Copies of this chain bind each other. A is one copy, B any other.
């Protein structure tokens, strides 16, 4: 058994983009296993847009990572030693933990992770934790899609976006994805069945929406913020819904500027805007897991992971999220498990 572990700690709060030295990578001794704890060998680390929020001291939905503390992240791994009943060696466990190769834990924030024949650990972890439930609750509970409605999703080839669009199609919506680059646009239309794609890097989002959705937008599943969000909001229909899932374009901003308010328009069109975090729906995760696993096994929801090797490069990999460099749900492969 390993006697050391590798771990990323937050050394400095990034200003603007994440830079070398904001996170430090260290070998550390593994603490001895206490009664009620188990040792997890991490297989995959999930990298998510919210990581940048946790590194900062901006207003956020849970406490920021403390300086000097291990960087927070979602992981899946296998139990390799245990002094906790019910967590036997060999078992898959996933949850909120640390950017680390090995984790000694009492299991707080973690739980057993399913193994489903026909679905790889990366595929299942990259779908269920937690992009799938984010898409599921954000679209179904807040977006409330109805057949024939027009749904727009930004960051459409990313972890959440690809699932949002496919659930939208299952619910009978006309689905428009906004993504960066021809490859991603082709993927969401040709592989995932979105009706339209808009390439924000080469096209004018507003003008494209006017062309392909002259009827206006019923649901804007918002992940990006900034000018792309404004272009969609300006085209919302009366009684439209806006699940507010992310504002990634602003997470590295240093000026704190936001797109202008649209308060009068919100009133006149009677829009509903609701911010949410997937953990708000934690007590209903089993419902989402069941639906998503079913759709995956039936081939109705396909998910693409962007798996990058090497925990030691996690600080580089995470930057892909803010430049649009990932293609699918971004995971770091930490070890074979």
A-B contact pairs, 13 of them (CB 8 A): A58-B264, A59-B264, A59-B269, A61-B270, A239-B280, A247-B264, A258-B260, A258-B264, A260-B261, A267-B275, A270-B277, A270-B280, A271-B273
Give per-residue flags for A56-98: 1 if the beta carbon is below 8 A from chain B beta carbons, else 0.
0011110000000000000000000000000000000000000
A186 to B73, CA, bound (A): 53
Is A132 engaged at the interface, CB distance under 8 Å to the other chain?
no
Chain B residues with CB under 8 Å of A259's CB are 261, 263
Given A269-B275, A270-B277, A271-B274, A263:B59 Cβ within 8 A: no
- The smallest beta-carbon distance between A245 and chain B, in angstroms, is 8
Is A265 engaged at the interface, CB distance under 8 Å to the other chain?
yes
A265 to B259, CA, bound (A): 12
Closest to A264 in B: B247
Whether A247 lies near B225 (C-beta < 8 A) is: no
Given A60-B268, A61-B268, A270-B61, A229:B263 Cβ within 8 A: yes
A52 to B184, CA, bound (A): 47
16 other A-B residue contacts (CB within 8 Å) besides A225-B264, A244-B263? A59-B268, A61-B268, A244-B266, A244-B267, A245-B267, A247-B263, A247-B264, A250-B264, A258-B261, A259-B263, A260-B261, A266-B273, A268-B275, A272-B272, A272-B273, A272-B274
Is A211 engaged at the interface, CB distance under 8 Å to the other chain?
no
A250 to B246, CA, bound (A): 29
Interface residues of A in 239-254 (CB under 8 A from B): 239, 244-247, 250
Is A113 engaged at the interface, CB distance under 8 Å to the other chain?
no
A264 to B258, CA, bound (A): 8
A246 to B270, CA, bound (A): 11
- The smallest beta-carbon distance between A194 and chain B, in angstroms, is 24
A229 to B259, CA, bound (A): 17
Closest to A259 in B: B261
Please list the 3 inter-chain residue pairs (A to B) with the smallest Cβ-Cβ separation, ordered nearest first: A267-B275, A261-B261, A258-B261
Whether A267 lies near B280 (C-beta < 8 A) is: no
A247 contacts which of B229, B267, B271 (Cβ < 8 Å)?
Answer: B267
- The smallest beta-carbon distance between A170 and chain B, in angstroms, is 25
Whether B258 lies near A262 (C-beta < 8 A) is: yes
A270 contacts which of B265, B268, B276 (Cβ < 8 Å)?
Answer: B276
Chain B residues with CB under 8 Å of A245's CB are 267
Closest to A229 in B: B263
- The smallest beta-carbon distance between A57 and chain B, in angstroms, is 12
Chain B residues with CB under 8 Å of A274's CB are 270-273
A301 to B229, CA, bound (A): 42
- The smallest beta-carbon distance between A21 and chain B, in angstroms, is 26
- The smallest beta-carbon distance between A7 and chain B, in angstroms, is 27
Closest to A275 in B: B267
